[in-house]
């Protein structure tokens, strides 16, 4: 399928940290009708209701990451959610041939992910307020006590240093959480109402199955189900010479 109608939306992949495992997974499509976009395999499928492109873009320690683009070709309006995307894994060729999947999972829900991140932001703000209050009270108590004691003066310095360390940790934690929230808000394919002719695109995450040899990605649009077949191979990391 020609890629003329494939528009790669801006996608920051900074969250795709490589796995710490000595074994990495090599993923490739088994679809015949594949093309390449910036070195990555892209497969497009269509019927009268929709045009769907799927591109495997990478993995992190626990998830496969795909870029998915959907164009509504029908005259109907429908709601897209993460539940529209599924992944089935097969541990053997026999299981694949018999269509007996070993695992079946839905895509990671970005709305739930954002709820979790917002909850973490609230919790970190609360912890910072508590830590700051404790450090202030401890420093004040030590300052009063240090009037008659040189040793207590060192305690004041300890409380100040403790608060400075907390401020640094708090800033780093909040920067990370706000970055993650922005990433999941803007780069991931979220809940969308698709009117006739609308096009949406974004990243889709699935939990990894390290034992899979094959897996199928399913993108459901209206009543149509688009299936994309992939092969997975384990590749040993080569240890660097010292």
Task: Read off the pLDDT of residues 107-148 as tens digits, 9 standing for 90 and up.
Answer: 999 999 999 999 999 999 999 998 887 867 655 555 555 555
CA nearest to 220, candidates 2, 44, 70? 70
Q: How confident is the model at residue 63 (pLDDT cuts 50, 70, 90)?
A: very high
pTM: 0.83
Q: Let me know whether 39 and 100 are in one domain.
A: yes
Token pair of 86, please?
A: 């599924």
In a domain, 38, yes or no: yes
Q: Let me know whether 176 and 117 are in one domain.
A: yes
In a domain, 149, yes or no: yes
Place of tokens 């299936």: 227
CB-CB contact of 221 with 84 (8 Å):
yes
In a domain, 203, yes or no: yes
Q: Let me know whether 209 and 100 are in one domain.
A: yes
Tally of domains within the chain? 2
CATH of residue 197: 2.60.40
Tell me the per-residue pLDDT of 201-238, one tens digit each, with 9 for 90 and over: 999 999 999 999 999 999 998 888 999 999 999 887 65
In a domain, 22, yes or no: yes
In a domain, 177, yes or no: yes
Give the domain extent around 67.
3-108+189-236
Q: Let me know whether 100 and 171 are in one domain.
A: no
Token pair of 31, please?
A: 């679809």
Q: Let me know whether 120 and 49 are in one domain.
A: no
Q: Let me know whether 132 and 33 are in one domain.
A: no
In a domain, 61, yes or no: yes
CB-CB contact of 79 with 220 (8 Å):
no
In a domain, 242, yes or no: no
Using a 10 angstrom Cβ sphere, with 0-12 exposed, 13-18 middle and 19 or more buried, the burial of residue 134 is: middle
């Amino acid at each position: 399928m020609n890629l003329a109608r494939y528009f790669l939306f801006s996608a920051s992949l900074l969250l795709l940290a490589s796995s710490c495992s000595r074994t990495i997974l090599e993923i490739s499509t088994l679809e015949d009708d594949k093309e390449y976009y910036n070195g990555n395999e892209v497969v497009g499928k269509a019927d009268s209701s929709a045009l769907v492109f799927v591109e495997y873009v990478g993995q992190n320690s626990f998830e496969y990451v795909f870029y998915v683009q959907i164009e509504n070709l029908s005259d109907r309006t429908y709601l897209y959610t993460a539940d529209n995307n599924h992944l089935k894994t097969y541990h053997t060729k026999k299981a694949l041939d018999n269509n007996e999947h070993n695992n079946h999972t839905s895509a990671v829900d970005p709305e739930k992910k954002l709820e979790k991140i917002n909850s973490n932001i609230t919790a970190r703000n609360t912890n910072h307020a508590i830590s700051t209050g404790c450090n202030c009270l401890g420093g004040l108590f030590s300052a009063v006590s240090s009037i008659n004691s040189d040793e207590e003066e060192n305690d004041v310095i300890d409380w100040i240093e403790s608060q400075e360390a907390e401020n640094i940790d708090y800033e780093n934690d909040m920067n990370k959480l706000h970055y993650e929230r922005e990433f999941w808000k803007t780069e991931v394919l979220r809940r969308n109402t698709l009117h006739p002719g609308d096009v949406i695109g974004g990243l889709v995450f699935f939990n990894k199955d390290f034992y899979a040899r094959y897996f199928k990605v399913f993108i459901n649009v209206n009543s149509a189900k688009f299936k994309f077949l992939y092969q997975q191979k384990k590749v040993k990391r080569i240890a660097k010479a010292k």
